[in-house]
């Protein structure tokens, strides 16, 4: 797992190259930095940059890194989600999902596009609030 926000794609790419492990044996997840993308085209370009920095031909999973809790309003979240759909249709990513999104945000993206995120990556540990536990149960129910 990595992210554009972490600024470690080149280091990870070098480690992958030096490992000698075939690309098909590694699962790579990254996240779009919503502060640096404003359109479908921006997202596709950011995915291209991630692929270049990692030195790989595709990503297994690309996520939107944060929703309203990160200051990303619904219209922008929707535009970025459409950007991930475009990157997927171009074969740059195999799966798309979200990170740190709530139920309402996921329902909105799905209703507007007909495309459900394959995952909602969130922080989870024994001390998370009840709302987080409820979100996990809902995500599990939704598949």
Give catalytic residues, as residue numbers.
6, 65
Mapping DSSP to helix (H, G, I), strand (E, B) and coil, where does residue 38 land? coil
Provide DSSP, 51-113: HHHHT-S-BSEEEEE--GGGT--HHHHHHHHHHHHHHHHTTSBS-EEEES--HHHHHHHHHHH
Q: Which of 62, 57, 11 is nearest to 32 (CA)?
A: 62
């Amino acid at each position: 797992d990595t992210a554009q926000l972490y600024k470690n794609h080149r280091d990870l790419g070098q480690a992958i190259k030096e490992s000698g492990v075939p690309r098909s044996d590694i699962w790579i997840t990254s996240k779009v930095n919503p502060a640096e993308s404003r359109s479908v085209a921006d997202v596709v370009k950011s995915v291209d940059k991630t692929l270049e920095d990692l030195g790989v031909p595709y990503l297994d999973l690309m996520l939107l890194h944060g929703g309203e809790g990160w200051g990303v309003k619904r219209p922008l979240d929707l535009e970025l989600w459409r950007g991930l759909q475009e990157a997927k249709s171009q074969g740059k990513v195999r799966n798309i999902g979200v990170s740190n999104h709530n139920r309402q945000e996921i329902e909105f993206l799905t209703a507007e596009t007909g495309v459900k995120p394959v995952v909602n990556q969130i922080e989870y540990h024994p001390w998370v609030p009840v709302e987080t536990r409820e979100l996990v149960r809902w995500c599990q129910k939704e598949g």
